[in-house]
Amino acid sequence: MKIQAYLAFGGNCQEALSFYSDLFNAKIINRKTYEDKKIDVPSSYRNKLQHAEIKGDHIYFMAYDASPDTPLNNGNQIHMSIEASDINEGKELFEKLSKGGQVHHNYREREWGYFGRCTDKYGIGWMVNHNQ
């Protein structure tokens, strides 16, 4: 069995995936738009991503732009979780992910190690950990 995250965006999936691919040194693969699909979406939405994947060392998830008639609600039911290699990597990732977003828990030492939680500028929740 394999379980993986599939993130939904409201039209800015390509922008978000470009940000994540740069941040995590990963590639965007299997990129497909709504172009030439028999799906009822406005013509202005045809260049949006119907499916794409981020793949790199230690990272893999899928994402898409939900069709305009699919309501998206920023919620707290899911967070992407990162186990950083060291304190500095965790701090750097947390700072980049939280820039333009919202910090819920500053990246700092906790009883189990270092931890921070934020929502990035795309509405995705992230938890960054480093266990000592």
- pLDDT, residue 36, reads 79
pLDDT value at position 1? 65
For residue 119, list its beta bridge partners. 102, 125
Nearest to 54 by CA among 31, 29, 37: 29
Contact, 35 vs 46, CB < 8 A? yes
Give the pLDDT score at 42: 83
Q: Is residue 3 over pLDDT 80?
A: no
Strand partners, 113: 110, 131
Confidence of residue 12 (pLDDT cuts 50, 70, 90): very high
Question: Which fold is adopted by the domain 6-65?
Answer: 2,3-Dihydroxybiphenyl 1,2-Dioxygenase; domain 1 (3.10.180)
Query: What pLDDT was estimated at residue 41?
Result: 82
Q: Cα(80)–Cα(117) distance, rounded to whole angstroms?
A: 10
Write the CB contacts of 61 (distance below 8 Å, at least 6 apart in sequence). Answer: 4, 5, 6, 7, 53, 54, 80
Name the segment(s) of the chain with CATH classification 3.10.180.10.
6-65, 79-131
More confident residue, 41 or 82: 82
Question: What number is the average pLDDT over the span 32-42?
Answer: 83
User: What is the mean pLDDT of the segment spanning 60-72?
Assistant: 89
For 79-131, CATH number out of 1.20.1260.10, 1.10.1050.10, 3.40.50.300, 3.10.180.10 equals: 3.10.180.10
pLDDT digits (tens, 9 = 90+) for 87-109: 999 999 999 999 999 999 999 99
What is this structure's pTM?
A: 0.86
Average pLDDT over residues 29-50: 87
